[in-house]
Amino acid sequence: METNLVMEGVKFMFLGMGTVYLFLMIMIAVMNAMSAIIHKFFPEPQPVTKAHQAETQDNKKIVAAISAAITHHREGQGL
């Protein structure tokens, strides 16, 4: 009984490469599905608009004014 080892090797090579290729295709499909689910439930934040930036600047001024008032009040009490 003579076995052609080269043909056996080629068969195993295609079997192994086919298995890896199939695994990668399944992995890509699962990752795409997972990405679609995540984007559905957790959408990307909207870009910051000019109105929102102006509101943020106003908030920063208010915080600065409150901090200055608290500091001035504490200095007046001798703390």
pLDDT digits (tens, 9 = 90+) for 20-66: 999 999 999 999 999 999 999 998 887 767 766 667 777 888 888 89
Q: Which domain holds residue 59?
A: 46-79
pLDDT given for residue 31 in this prediction: 98
pLDDT recorded at residue 3: 75
Do 67 and 39 reside in the same domain of the chain? no
Residue 78 pLDDT class (50, 70, 90 cuts): low
Three-state secondary structure call for residue 15: helix
Q: Identify whether residues 40 and 50 lie together within a single domain.
A: no
Are 64 and 27 members of one domain? no
Cα angle 10, 16, 22; round to 5: 130
Let me know whether 78 and 51 are in one domain.
yes
Regarding whether 40 and 7 lie in a shared domain, the answer is yes
pLDDT band at 8 (very low <50, low <70, confident <90, very high): very high
State the Cα–Cα distance between residues 3 and 10, nearest whole angstrom.
Answer: 13
